[in-house]
């Protein structure tokens, strides 16, 4: 063979061998170990489930004031909140008067004293007989006013004392606008004293005719028992008048509600120390309770007081797992 021809053939053969070596398939990478698999969605679900439950030791829950109660049926009330004043009942105020003219020789009671019917309140020396006679209480009650001083001269029939029987009081409530069309006699009323929050239940006795001159309001009147003397005429009160009630299959107090991530939740105690945030769908509510349409079953133990403490503890639990 011609040497000149053989050299190019050798070059072609060498190129082919090199090309074949470069086209070999590289060895496969070793498979990842099963323990290295990672599912972020699964981790997120586990994190969320953990963040919606917390454990609060029973002793700490008791100290924090956490209280639970079973969810159950109830009523949602259509209520009106109004204000008013306590006043003495007409006919429950009487005067102790002098029968004959003369000077006052003794005074035995002062304003604020409780007296019984027939009790001697003072003595007056009669100018006619020059002998003293007693002035007695015509009714039992409290001395609300005294109009004489010791030694002062009084005329026949002069009022020496005013006595008020405060065992029953009127609650005069002022109603405005369209509320007067919905409130009628006989409906339940809860009266609360503004000064200290003491409350009592009664019923609306009547709607007075006419309009109160100063406030241009309609006056609704209730009667309040006051045998222990806790209530005083002139005290300002608020009143919750229940116009109508609607039954609900499941209710919880408003104090049980909290909001988490834009959802309404209640906290269910699953055991003595484990609390779970339960999303709920709500219905009608009044000033105290709300109907639960879904998310809760009757009998479950719901946190009804200090629910914000459980929410705060859930927040700490969630933050602890966020790193």
* pTM given for the model: 0.59
| pLDDT (tens place) for every residue of the chain, 323 residues total | 444 444 344 334 334 433 444 334 344 444 444 344 444 333 433 334 444 899 999 999 999 999 999 999 999 988 888 999 999 999 899 999 999 999 999 999 999 999 999 999 999 999 999 999 999 999 999 999 999 999 999 999 999 999 999 999 999 999 988 777 778 899 999 999 998 888 999 999 999 987 877 778 899 999 999 988 889 999 999 999 988 889 999 999 999 999 999 999 999 998 889 999 999 999 999 888 999 999 999 999 999 999 999 999 888 765 554 44
* Closest by Cα among 56, 18, 42, 32 to 317: 56
Q: Parse the chain into domains and list their residue ranges.
A: 52-76+247-320, 79-89+170-246, 93-164
Strands of 98-235, DSSP E: 102-107, 114-115, 120-125, 132-136, 141-146, 153-154, 159-164, 168-175, 188-193, 199-207, 218-225
CATH class of 93-164: mainly beta
Cα–Cα distance measured from residue 304 to residue 281, given in angstroms and rounded to the nearest whole number: 17
Is the CATH code 3.40.50.2300 the one for domain 79-89+170-246?
A: no
Domains 52-76+247-320 and 93-164 share a fold: no
Architecture (CATH level 2) of domain 52-76+247-320: Beta Barrel (2.40)
């Amino acid at each position: 063979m011609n040497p000149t021809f053989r050299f190019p053939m050798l070059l072609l053969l060498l190129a082919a061998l090199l090309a074949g070596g470069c086209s070999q398939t590289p060895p496969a990478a070793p498979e990842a170990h099963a323990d290295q698999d990672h599912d972020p969605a699964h981790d997120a679900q586990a994190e969320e489930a953990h963040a919606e439950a917390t454990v609060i030791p029973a002793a700490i829950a008791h100290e924090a004031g956490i209280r639970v109660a079973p969810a159950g049926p109830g009523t949602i009330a259509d209520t009106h909140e109004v204000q008013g004043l306590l006043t003495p009942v007409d006919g429950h105020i009487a005067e102790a008067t002098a029968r004959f003219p003369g000077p006052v020789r003794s005074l035995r009671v002062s304003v604020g004293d409780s007296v019984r019917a027939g009790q001697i309140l003072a003595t007056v020396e009669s100018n006619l007989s020059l002998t003293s006679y007693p002035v007695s209480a015509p009714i039992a009650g409290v001395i609300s006013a005294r109009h004489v001083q010791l030694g002062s001269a009084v005329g026949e029939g002069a009022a020496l004392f005013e006595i008020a029987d405060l065992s029953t009081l009127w609650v005069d409530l002022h109603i405005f606008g369209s509320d007067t069309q919905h409130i009628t006699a006989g409906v339940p009323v809860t009266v609360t004293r503004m000064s200290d929050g003491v409350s009592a239940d009664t019923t609306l006795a009547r709607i007075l005719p006419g309009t109160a001159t100063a406030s241009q309001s309609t006056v609704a009147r209730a009667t309040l028992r006051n045998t222990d003397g806790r209530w005083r005429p002139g005290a300002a009160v608020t009143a919750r008048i229940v116009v109508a009630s609607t039954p609900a299959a499941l209710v919880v107090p408003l104090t049980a509600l909290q909001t988490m991530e834009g959802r309404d939740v209640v906290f269910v105690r699953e055991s003595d120390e484990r609390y779970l945030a339960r999303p709920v769908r709500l219905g009608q509510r009044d000033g105290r309770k709300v109907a639960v349409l879904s998310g809760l079953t009757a009998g479950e133990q719901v946190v009804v007081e200090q629910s914000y403490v459980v929410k705060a503890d859930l927040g700490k639990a969630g933050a602890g797992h966020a790193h």
